[in-house]
């Protein structure tokens, strides 16, 4: 759990990944043009490390939705190429779409107010304007929006401020309205502000009316998540949910609200259960009716709900992940950039996948008693209990947002998400230091500053030294000859990588972009000339993220 996170929803300043936004292509067998003959590589010569890349092996689609954020800046420049924005966070648990009121919960005095509208600079008297304004901005920029649907029990009825709502007698009746999954009546074009109830299926229908084009096609461009961090409701929102949530209660809420959403927007992606962290995954934060591991329980329950409903209700297992690693006496999710924090930060992403790496945390040492290997562990549960479910991390952060170590960790995480087939991901800023994070994102979404991006298909890319380096590679369904490589040096000295590339082209040069700090910019470097067919050596700068594009 990361405390004191900003409560605003959006700050306006091989595995198979089977969900892609409208207009995107997915890399499945038989898609795209005939790639032609594979060109095997020659010998690049010796190096400190070797990178083996093959376009014919480990092929699977990369979901564009992994390139997402909760706090975005200018989608046209700073964050060019981002594909997903999440409207989430603690403030959304008690958000009333009818009047844009919300309750701050423990983040600020359990107060009802108009914080969301005021932060966005929109008219809070217009129903749904907090979400509509963000959706319009995001969709216009070509990204998709993940909208939070409140399911906790109540949403704020007023924007009166004045501190804790518990100062009001019978505050649940006077300061809140029930949030109800289904209206069971005709939807109104404008919500009834006097019926003392807020209907979430009507909210989805209202969004459809506002953005009809976003719901055309195989997949809607507005996605929905089922509230936020329910495993912490009793601490973050104790005024409306004072008791810890239980296994059965949360499954019932997810089933009811997901079903209501799908009844209105059958092509929408629904994500649940939006856990805060590892203890939520395992015991739902010591739920009163805990019976075995919660993620397994939840997935099995959602499989049973699908059988009962005759349709899938929850498409993506949605989790939050904030590394628990400490260094120099501080959690590395902060802005400490001491040598100890830098070293811990650049290694921390290995816990997402590496069965040879054991981090020094209570999770690894006391619970798992070994490597965390988070994504494989989660996928094993999905495969066992509810095959076909996507995996999302809609909040995550590795710290160092103003330092090259933060860029390295961020780029590494994005590479891992693509290689491991994650469906959704959205970075959450924990401080104002974010410039290096956006630079790392651009390594995948606009490395040349003109919109050139990592490919849509992950391919085999292996380094001989996973502690010192990472390497990720891609091609495109529409152009199998196009290869993009992201190479990461996690050490304080230069390293020469000997690269072999089995590809559907014979390349004569390699274009280079480098992110080295202290400036958060990818800078074009001298092109490389292969030493042999599709084989070259590249000297990676110390602590760097490089984009290599054979041509």
**Active site positions, annotated:** 229
Two tokens, residue 247: 């296994």
d(CA 399, CA 407): 9
C-alpha to C-alpha distance for 380 and 371, rounded to whole angstroms: 15
The answer to whether the CB of 274 falls within 8 A of the CB of 319 is yes
CB 513 within 8 A of CB 523: yes
User: Which residue, 302, 295, 294, 228, is CA-closest to 258?
Assistant: 302
Q: Which two tokens stand for residue 457?
A: 């298909």
* Strand partners for 390: 316
Phi-psi region of 299 (alpha: psi -120 to 50; beta: other; left: phi over 0): alpha
Alpha helices in 183-246 (DSSP H): 200-210, 233-236
Parallel/antiparallel/unpaired status of strands 544-550 and 510-515: antiparallel
All residues at 6 or more sequence positions from 467 whose CB lies less than 8 Å from its CB, including other chains: 347, 350, 357, 490
The count of C-alpha atoms lying within 13 angstroms of the C-alpha of 111, restricted to the half-sphere facing its C-beta, is: 13
The span from the CA of 361 to the CA of 365, in Å, is 6
Residues 6+ apart with CB under 8 A from 303: 385, 386
Question: How many other CB atoms are there within 10 angstroms of residue 52's CB atom?
Answer: 18
The C-alpha atoms of residue 538 and residue 411 are separated, in whole angstroms, by: 18
CB 320 within 8 A of CB 90: no
For residue 499, the cross-strand partners are 51, 536
Q: What would the two tokens of residue 154 be? A: 């109540």
């Amino acid at each position: 759990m990361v405390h004191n996170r900003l409560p605003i929803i959006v700050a306006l300043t091989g595995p198979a990944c089977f969900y892609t936004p409208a207009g995107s292509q997915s890399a499945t067998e038989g898609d795209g043009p005939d790639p032609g003959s594979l060109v095997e590589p020659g010998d690049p010569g010796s190096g400190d490390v070797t990178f083996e890349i093959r376009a014919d092996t480990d092929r699977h689609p990369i979901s564009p939705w992994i390139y997402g954020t909760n706090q975005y800046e200018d989608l046209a420049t700073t964050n060019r190429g981002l594909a997903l924005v999440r409207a989430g966070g603690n403030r959304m648990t008690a958000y009333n779409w009818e009047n844009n009121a919300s309750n701050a919960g423990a983040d600020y005095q359990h107060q009802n107010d108009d914080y969301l509208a005021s932060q966005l600079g929109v008219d809070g008297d217009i129903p749904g304007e907090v979400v509509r304004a963000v959706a319009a901005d995001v969709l216009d920029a070509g990204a998709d929006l993940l909208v939070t649907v409140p399911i906790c029990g109540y949403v704020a009825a007023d924007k009166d401020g004045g501190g804790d709502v518990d100062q009001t007698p019978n505050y649940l009746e006077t300061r809140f309205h029930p949030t109800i999954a289904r209206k069971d009546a005709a939807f109104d074009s404008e919500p009834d502000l006097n019926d003392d109830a807020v209907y979430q299926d009507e909210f989805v229908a209202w969004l459809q009316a506002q953005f009809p084009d976003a719901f055309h096609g195989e997949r809607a461009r507005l996605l929905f998540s089922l509230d936020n961090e329910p495993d912490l409701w009793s601490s973050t929102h104790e005024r409306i949910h004072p008791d810890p949530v239980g296994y059965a209660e949360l499954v019932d809420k997810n089933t009811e609200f997901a079903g209501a959403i799908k009844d209105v927007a059958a092509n929408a992606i629904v994500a649940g259960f939006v856990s805060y962290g590892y203890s939520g995954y395992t015991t739902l934060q010591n739920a009163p009716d805990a019976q075995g591991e919660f993620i397994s329980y939840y997935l099995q329950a959602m499989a049973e709900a699908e059988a009962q409903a005759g349709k899938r209700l929850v498409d993506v297992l949605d989790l939050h992940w904030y590394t628990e690693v400490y260094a120099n006496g501080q959690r590395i999710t902060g802005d400490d950039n001491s040598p100890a924090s830098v070293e811990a930060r650049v290694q921390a992403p290995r816990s997402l996948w590496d069965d040879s790496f054991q981090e020094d945390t209570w999770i690894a040492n006391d619970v798992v008693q070994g490597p965390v290997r988070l994504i494989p562990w989660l996928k094993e549960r999905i495969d066992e209990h509810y095959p076909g479910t996507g995996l999302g991390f809609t909040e995550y952060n590795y710290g160092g947002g103003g330092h090259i170590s933060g860029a390295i960790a961020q780029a590494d995480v994005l590479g891992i998400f693509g290689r491991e087939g994650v469906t959704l991901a959205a970075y959450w800023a924990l401080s104002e230091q974010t410039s290096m994070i956006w630079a790392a994102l651009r390594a995948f979404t606009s490395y040349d500053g003109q919109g050139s991006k990592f490919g849509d298909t992950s391919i085999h890319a292996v380094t001989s030294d996973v502690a010192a380096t990472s390497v990720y590679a891609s091609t495109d369904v529409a152009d199998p000859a196009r290869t993009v490589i992201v190479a990461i040096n996690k050490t304080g000295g230069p390293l020469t990588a000997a690269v072999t590339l089995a590809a559907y082209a014979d390349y004569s040069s390699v274009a280079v972009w480098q992110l080295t700090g202290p400036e958060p910019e990818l800078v074009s470097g001298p092109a490389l000339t292969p030493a042999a067919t599709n084989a070259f050596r590249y000297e990676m700068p110390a602590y760097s993220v490089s984009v290599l594009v054979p041509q």
